[in-house]
Structure 1
Protein backbone atom coordinates (compact mmCIF):
# COMPACT_ATOMS: atom_id res chain seq x y z
CA UNK A 1 0.00 0.00 0.00
CA UNK A 2 1.23 3.48 -0.88
CA UNK A 3 2.36 5.30 2.28
CA UNK A 4 0.98 8.61 0.95
CA UNK A 5 -2.59 7.28 1.21
CA UNK A 6 -2.10 7.30 4.99
CA UNK A 7 -1.68 11.08 5.01
CA UNK A 8 -4.95 12.82 4.19
CA UNK A 9 -3.27 16.20 4.46
CA UNK A 10 -1.25 15.58 1.27
CA UNK A 11 -4.47 15.75 -0.74
CA UNK A 12 -5.95 18.67 1.18
CA UNK A 13 -6.10 21.95 -0.69
CA UNK A 14 -3.53 24.46 0.50
CA UNK A 15 -6.21 27.11 -0.07
CA UNK A 16 -8.41 25.40 2.55
CA UNK A 17 -5.68 25.40 5.21
CA UNK A 18 -4.16 28.81 4.43
CA UNK A 19 -7.02 30.80 6.06
CA UNK A 20 -6.52 28.71 9.21
CA UNK A 21 -2.86 29.75 9.33
CA UNK A 22 -3.94 33.39 8.97
CA UNK A 23 -6.65 33.05 11.65
CA UNK A 24 -4.21 31.43 14.06
CA UNK A 25 -1.76 34.31 13.57
CA UNK A 26 -4.39 37.04 13.75
CA UNK A 27 -5.83 35.64 17.00
CA UNK A 28 -2.41 36.40 18.49
CA UNK A 29 -2.21 39.90 16.99
CA UNK A 30 0.05 38.86 14.14
CA UNK A 31 -0.74 39.66 10.49
CA UNK A 32 -1.61 37.92 7.24
CA UNK A 33 1.44 39.71 5.77
CA UNK A 34 3.66 37.93 8.32
CA UNK A 35 2.05 34.56 7.45
CA UNK A 36 2.70 35.25 3.77
CA UNK A 37 6.28 36.30 4.52
CA UNK A 38 6.89 33.01 6.33
CA UNK A 39 5.32 30.91 3.57
CA UNK A 40 7.30 32.76 0.88
CA UNK A 41 10.54 32.44 2.85
CA UNK A 42 10.07 28.70 3.28
CA UNK A 43 8.92 27.89 -0.26
CA UNK A 44 10.48 30.53 -2.49
CA UNK A 45 7.10 31.65 -3.80
CA UNK A 46 6.66 35.37 -4.32
CA UNK A 47 3.33 36.98 -3.41
CA UNK A 48 1.92 36.44 -6.92
CA UNK A 49 3.01 32.79 -6.92
CA UNK A 50 1.45 32.21 -3.52
CA UNK A 51 -1.84 33.76 -4.65
CA UNK A 52 -1.76 31.65 -7.82
CA UNK A 53 -1.39 28.46 -5.75
CA UNK A 54 -4.37 29.47 -3.64
CA UNK A 55 -6.49 30.41 -6.67
CA UNK A 56 -5.65 27.15 -8.46
CA UNK A 57 -6.75 25.17 -5.42
CA UNK A 58 -3.63 23.00 -5.45
CA UNK A 59 -3.19 20.34 -2.79
CA UNK A 60 -0.25 20.35 -0.39
CA UNK A 61 1.65 17.84 -2.49
CA UNK A 62 1.39 20.09 -5.58
CA UNK A 63 1.98 23.26 -3.55
CA UNK A 64 5.31 21.96 -2.26
CA UNK A 65 6.25 20.17 -5.50
CA UNK A 66 5.89 23.45 -7.41
CA UNK A 67 7.66 25.55 -4.77
CA UNK A 68 10.38 27.53 -6.57
CA UNK A 69 13.08 27.10 -3.91
CA UNK A 70 12.65 25.40 -0.56
CA UNK A 71 14.78 27.48 1.83
CA UNK A 72 18.16 25.90 2.66
CA UNK A 73 17.83 27.08 6.27
CA UNK A 74 14.66 25.02 6.70
CA UNK A 75 16.88 22.33 8.19
CA UNK A 76 17.37 24.71 11.14
CA UNK A 77 13.68 24.38 12.01
CA UNK A 78 13.48 22.17 15.06
CA UNK A 79 10.90 21.35 17.68
CA UNK A 80 7.64 19.54 18.20
CA UNK A 81 4.43 19.87 16.19
CA UNK A 82 1.46 17.60 16.89
CA UNK A 83 3.66 15.59 19.25
CA UNK A 84 6.29 14.85 16.59
CA UNK A 85 9.80 16.30 16.33
CA UNK A 86 9.91 17.97 12.91
CA UNK A 87 13.60 17.24 12.41
CA UNK A 88 12.92 13.49 12.74
CA UNK A 89 10.08 13.20 10.20
CA UNK A 90 11.21 10.87 7.43
CA UNK A 91 8.66 11.62 4.71
CA UNK A 92 9.97 14.73 2.89
CA UNK A 93 6.51 16.12 2.10
CA UNK A 94 5.18 15.59 5.62
CA UNK A 95 8.33 17.25 6.98
CA UNK A 96 7.75 20.33 4.79
CA UNK A 97 4.13 20.56 5.93
CA UNK A 98 5.19 20.28 9.58
CA UNK A 99 7.97 22.85 9.06
CA UNK A 100 5.29 25.27 7.92
CA UNK A 101 3.06 24.35 10.87
CA UNK A 102 5.99 24.94 13.24
CA UNK A 103 6.77 28.36 11.77
CA UNK A 104 3.12 29.44 12.04
CA UNK A 105 3.10 28.18 15.66
CA UNK A 106 6.17 30.27 16.41
CA UNK A 107 4.52 33.33 14.87
CA UNK A 108 1.38 32.78 16.96
CA UNK A 109 3.53 32.42 20.08
CA UNK A 110 4.97 35.89 19.53
CA UNK A 111 8.43 34.95 18.30
CA UNK A 112 10.26 37.68 16.37
CA UNK A 113 10.02 37.28 12.59
CA UNK A 114 13.85 37.36 12.25
CA UNK A 115 14.09 34.33 14.56
CA UNK A 116 11.26 32.51 12.78
CA UNK A 117 13.03 33.03 9.46
CA UNK A 118 16.23 31.58 10.93
CA UNK A 119 18.29 34.67 10.08
Structure 2
Protein backbone atom coordinates (compact mmCIF):
# COMPACT_ATOMS: atom_id res chain seq x y z
CA UNK A 1 0.00 0.00 0.00
CA UNK A 2 1.46 3.32 -1.05
CA UNK A 3 1.24 6.37 1.17
CA UNK A 4 -0.43 9.43 -0.29
CA UNK A 5 0.86 13.01 -0.02
CA UNK A 6 -2.11 13.74 2.27
CA UNK A 7 -1.21 10.81 4.53
CA UNK A 8 2.43 11.93 4.68
CA UNK A 9 1.35 15.49 5.52
CA UNK A 10 -0.94 14.23 8.28
CA UNK A 11 1.95 12.26 9.84
CA UNK A 12 4.26 15.28 9.61
CA UNK A 13 1.77 17.53 11.39
CA UNK A 14 0.75 15.11 14.16
CA UNK A 15 1.82 16.29 17.59
CA UNK A 16 4.12 13.85 19.40
CA UNK A 17 2.74 14.86 22.81
CA UNK A 18 -0.77 13.82 21.78
CA UNK A 19 0.34 10.36 20.61
CA UNK A 20 2.80 9.54 23.41
CA UNK A 21 0.12 8.74 26.05
CA UNK A 22 -1.35 6.18 23.64
CA UNK A 23 2.07 4.49 23.39
CA UNK A 24 2.25 4.32 27.20
CA UNK A 25 -1.28 2.90 27.49
CA UNK A 26 -0.61 0.33 24.78
CA UNK A 27 2.54 -1.09 26.34
CA UNK A 28 1.38 -0.93 29.98
CA UNK A 29 -1.84 -2.75 29.08
CA UNK A 30 0.38 -5.59 27.89
CA UNK A 31 2.51 -5.65 31.06
CA UNK A 32 5.49 -3.66 29.76
CA UNK A 33 6.96 -0.65 31.55
CA UNK A 34 7.40 3.00 30.70
CA UNK A 35 11.15 2.48 31.26
CA UNK A 36 11.18 -0.15 28.50
CA UNK A 37 9.30 2.27 26.27
CA UNK A 38 11.90 4.97 26.93
CA UNK A 39 14.65 2.43 26.18
CA UNK A 40 13.33 1.52 22.72
CA UNK A 41 12.56 5.15 21.84
CA UNK A 42 16.07 6.17 22.90
CA UNK A 43 17.55 3.34 20.84
CA UNK A 44 15.64 4.49 17.75
CA UNK A 45 15.89 8.29 18.12
CA UNK A 46 18.74 9.04 20.53
CA UNK A 47 16.31 10.91 22.83
CA UNK A 48 16.66 10.02 26.50
CA UNK A 49 13.74 10.37 28.92
CA UNK A 50 14.65 13.96 29.80
CA UNK A 51 14.85 15.03 26.14
CA UNK A 52 11.58 13.23 25.34
CA UNK A 53 9.86 15.10 28.15
CA UNK A 54 11.21 18.39 26.76
CA UNK A 55 9.84 17.54 23.30
CA UNK A 56 6.49 16.62 24.83
CA UNK A 57 6.45 19.89 26.78
CA UNK A 58 7.36 21.80 23.61
CA UNK A 59 4.49 20.06 21.75
CA UNK A 60 6.57 19.29 18.67
CA UNK A 61 5.17 17.73 15.52
CA UNK A 62 6.45 14.40 14.24
CA UNK A 63 8.29 16.37 11.55
CA UNK A 64 10.23 18.34 14.18
CA UNK A 65 10.63 15.25 16.35
CA UNK A 66 12.36 13.29 13.60
CA UNK A 67 14.33 16.30 12.30
CA UNK A 68 15.93 16.50 15.75
CA UNK A 69 16.35 12.75 16.16
CA UNK A 70 19.61 10.94 15.62
CA UNK A 71 18.13 7.84 14.02
CA UNK A 72 19.87 4.60 14.91
CA UNK A 73 21.96 3.29 11.99
CA UNK A 74 20.24 -0.11 12.38
CA UNK A 75 16.75 1.36 12.01
CA UNK A 76 16.68 0.15 8.40
CA UNK A 77 16.53 -3.39 9.82
CA UNK A 78 12.99 -2.68 11.08
CA UNK A 79 10.76 -4.45 8.59
CA UNK A 80 7.22 -5.71 8.35
CA UNK A 81 3.71 -4.35 8.22
CA UNK A 82 2.39 -1.69 10.57
CA UNK A 83 -0.88 0.22 10.23
CA UNK A 84 -1.46 -1.53 6.89
CA UNK A 85 1.84 -0.36 5.36
CA UNK A 86 4.90 -2.47 4.58
CA UNK A 87 7.70 -0.38 6.09
CA UNK A 88 10.24 -1.35 3.44
CA UNK A 89 7.98 0.06 0.70
CA UNK A 90 7.32 3.48 2.24
CA UNK A 91 9.08 6.07 0.09
CA UNK A 92 8.50 9.14 2.27
CA UNK A 93 11.36 9.27 4.80
CA UNK A 94 9.40 10.96 7.58
CA UNK A 95 6.49 8.53 7.28
CA UNK A 96 8.95 5.63 7.27
CA UNK A 97 10.58 6.91 10.49
CA UNK A 98 7.17 7.31 12.14
CA UNK A 99 6.32 3.73 11.16
CA UNK A 100 9.67 2.54 12.57
CA UNK A 101 8.58 4.07 15.88
CA UNK A 102 5.13 2.47 15.63
CA UNK A 103 6.68 -0.90 14.85
CA UNK A 104 9.15 -1.00 17.76
CA UNK A 105 6.39 0.06 20.17
CA UNK A 106 4.10 -2.60 18.73
CA UNK A 107 6.83 -5.22 19.18
CA UNK A 108 7.34 -4.10 22.78
CA UNK A 109 3.60 -4.41 23.44
CA UNK A 110 3.59 -7.89 21.90
CA UNK A 111 6.23 -9.07 24.37
CA UNK A 112 9.27 -9.15 22.12
CA UNK A 113 12.60 -9.03 23.96
CA UNK A 114 14.36 -5.66 24.04
CA UNK A 115 17.48 -7.16 22.44
CA UNK A 116 15.41 -8.26 19.44
CA UNK A 117 13.54 -4.96 19.16
CA UNK A 118 16.77 -2.97 19.19
CA UNK A 119 18.26 -5.06 16.36
CA UNK A 120 21.84 -4.94 17.50
CA UNK A 121 24.25 -6.86 15.24
CA UNK A 122 25.49 -10.13 16.68
Q: Size of the alignment, in residue pairs?
A: 116
2:51 counterpart residue number: 49
Q: Give secondary structure in 1 for the equivalent of 2:74.
A: helix
Structure 2 length-normalised TM: 0.90
Q: Is the 8 A contact 2:24 2:34 kept in 1?
A: yes
2:61 counterpart residue number: 59
The two structures, once aligned, show a CA RMSD in angstroms of: 1.3
1:111 counterpart residue number: 112
1:97-108 equivalent positions in 2, closer than 5 A: 97-108=98-109
Q: Is the 8 A contact 1:4 1:10 kept in 2?
A: no
CA drift at 1:14: 0.2
**Separation (CA, whole Å) in 2 of partners of 1:85 and 1:36:** 25
Of structures 1 and 2, the one with the larger relative CO (CA 8 A, separation 6+) is 2
Point out where structure 1 has 5 or more consecutive residues left out of the alignment. none
**Separation (CA, whole Å) in 2 of partners of 1:6 and 1:75:** 19
Distance 1:6 1:102, change over 3 A: closer
